[in-house]
Amino acid sequence: MRARLALAWLGLMLALPAAAADYVALPGGSFSSVLPADGKAAAAQVAPFRLRTEPVTNAEFLAFVKTHPQWRRDQVAKILADERYLTHWAAAGALGEGALPNQPVTRVSWFAAQAYCESEQARLPSWYEWEYAAAADATRRDARADPAWRESILGWYSRPSSKALPDIGGAPNAYGVRDLNNLVWEWVDDFNALMVASDSREQGDPDLLKFCGAGAISLQEKENYAVLMRIAMLSALKAADTTNNMGFRCAKPE
Amino acid sequence: MKRLLPLFAMFLLLGSARAATPLPGDSVYNLPVQLTDQDGRRQTLAERRGRPQLVTMFYTSCQMVCPMIIDSLRLTRNALDPATRARIDLLAVSFDPAKDDVATLKSYAQKRKLDPRIWTLARAEPAQVRQLSGVLGLQYRQLPDGEFNHSSELILLDADGRIAARTTRIGKLDPGFVEAIRKVVAQPRG
């Protein structure tokens, strides 16, 4: 009886891969982002937080849509996910050959990613949290000044996007977080905050009024092309958009 | 999501009582958002279904464009004939829920002489503000000094919450947008 209970428990745990997701604590601190906090030069302040060590996989997302059917591709409201949402899966409730269990889930909208993270009592990381975590290499917490490291990250961007995605589980960085720079693009919570650019005080042209605020953003650390490309990608997307290579991971407060 | 489920259920109940037709998939009312207005009344975004809405996002401490956003909403409404005007509502949701509590929204409405029968100034919890901006296609970013950079747009929702038109013209009237409102209000509801 006890053995059967234990088995049932084990089965339950296996059926809930989301519950098994690993998060590691990152100390945070002052961080020189490519996006200055004040739009000019101020460093970003990153509060201590926990980050999922790996991106969310197809298997994990499948378990989520089974318990949250409003996020099945055949039931989702189209204002929350575009028509490409999860189309690489064999069916609304099955992965198939085009979507292996341990590959990162892609073709998910920002809304869907948020809902998933909420199901894990988590949220999407902010851009600063993501950029801060992704600045680390295997041994250094901030490897960005190393041209060889920047070069190695850039290599990922030249990988053809038609190639099948590798599984999650790459080498951990100095914080123990994997797959940040070389697997998929990743949604961040404030994806629509990154390039709010024009200074509205330059009046005259009505288009300049599209953005209201205190300062235009000037990008810093321009030699860090890889990160700039991430920002350009995120800024180009709408919350319902999905792409072949856009996945996500979640974060939690400390 | 769990937190939202009771809301969602409530919204389904209300929805079925009010409108037998299911919500279209491209309606912003598919997003569960809990609003609190300048009088402290709580309402889900979806409860605004049934009448076309002019929607914008702003924040009360904004000295730059936000006063003009409110002016533009007023200007747009005033450009409509009285019959059309009577059939739309105005909704402005704050980017800044930390500072824009109910009392702040209320005093702003009074200072700007915004009639509560016409104007809803509302706040929502931060995560829902971000979601609302996403569904409306607006961008915003908080700066270290507490100000915000944000896109300024007026958005027309039809009676079912579909985005029917939008304008980035702030500070003066956009005749095309006014025409779009007339058309949406004149639409028979299917």
The whole-chain average pLDDT of chain A stands at 85
Q: Do B151 and A215 touch (CB under 8 A)?
A: no
Q: Does any domain span residue A16? A: no
Cβ neighbours of A42 in B, within 8 Å: 144
The one-letter amino acid code at A237 reads: L
Could you tell me the residue range of the domain that residue A127 belongs to? 21-253
Long-range contacts of B82-88 (CB under 8 A, 24+ apart): B84/B181, B84/B182, B84/B185, B84/B186, B87/B51, B87/B52, B87/B185, B88/B51, B88/B52, B88/B53, B88/B54, B88/B181, B88/B185
pLDDT band at B188 (very low <50, low <70, confident <90, very high): confident
* Mean local confidence (pLDDT), B7-27: 65
Q: What is the DSSP letter of A178?
A: B
ipTM: 0.84
Say which of B28, B147, B151 has its CB closest to residue A79.
B28
Measured CA to CA, the distance from residue B158 to residue B27 in angstroms comes to: 9
Residue in B with minimal Cα distance to A214: B149
Beta partners for residue B93, in sequence order: B57, B122
Q: Do B127 and A239 touch (CB under 8 A)?
A: no
Q: What is the DSSP letter of B27?
A: B
Type and span of the H or E element at B151:
strand B148-151
Interface of B with A (CB under 8 A): 1-3, 23, 25-28, 30-31, 62, 64-66, 68-69, 127, 130-131, 133-135, 137-145, 147-153, 168-172
Q: Does any domain span residue A176? A: yes
Question: Percent helix, strand, coil in chain A (nearest 5)?
Answer: 30, 10, 55
E strands within chain A?
A: 23-26, 29-31, 44-46, 49-52, 185-186, 211-212, 246-247, 251-253
Say which of B2, B139, B144 has its CB closest to residue A196.
B139
Find which of A217-226, B18-27, B136-145, B173-182 is predicted with most confidence, using mean pLDDT. Answer: B173-182
Measured CA to CA, the distance from residue B14 to residue B8 in angstroms comes to: 10
Q: How many residues appear in chain B?
A: 190
Q: Do A214 and B149 touch (CB under 8 A)?
A: yes
Q: Does any domain span residue A2? A: no
The one-letter amino acid code at A89 reads: W
CA of B12 to nearest chain A CA: how many angstroms apart?
Answer: 13
Closest to B22 in 3D by CA, of B36, B11, B34, B33: B11
Q: Does any domain span residue A47? A: yes
Give residue A6's pLDDT: 59
Count of domains for chain A: 1
**Domain ranges for chain B:** 2-186
- DSSP H helices in A120-189: 127-134, 147-157
**At A30, which CATH number?**
3.90.1580
Contact A189, A125 (CB under 8 A): yes
Cβ neighbours of A211 in B, within 8 Å: 139, 149-152
Mention every residue, 6+ apart, whose C-beta is less than 8 A from residue A229: A157
pLDDT digits (tens, 9 = 90+) for A68-86: 999 999 999 999 999 999 9
* Mean local confidence (pLDDT), A129-147: 95
pLDDT digits (tens, 9 = 90+) for B28-84: 999 999 999 999 999 999 999 999 999 999 999 987 777 899 999 999 999 999 999
When scoring B141, B154, B158, B170 by the number of chain A Cβ atoms within 10 A, the one with the most, hence best to mutate, is B141
Q: Does any domain span residue A9? A: no
Q: Does any domain span residue A64? A: yes
Say which of A119, A206, A210 has its CB closest to residue B151.
A210
Contact B185, B84 (CB under 8 A): yes
CA of A213 to nearest chain B CA: how many angstroms apart?
Answer: 4
- Asked whether the predicted pLDDT for residue A204 surpasses 60, the reply is no
- Asked whether the predicted pLDDT for residue A41 surpasses 80, the reply is no
Measured CA to CA, the distance from residue A51 to residue A43 in angstroms comes to: 21
* Mean local confidence (pLDDT), A44-59: 97
What is the architecture of the domain spanning B2-186?
A: 3-Layer(aba) Sandwich (3.40)
Q: Does any domain span residue A179? A: yes
- Asked whether the predicted pLDDT for residue A198 surpasses 90, the reply is no
Measured CA to CA, the distance from residue B38 to residue B101 in angstroms comes to: 8
Contact A79, B157 (CB under 8 A): no
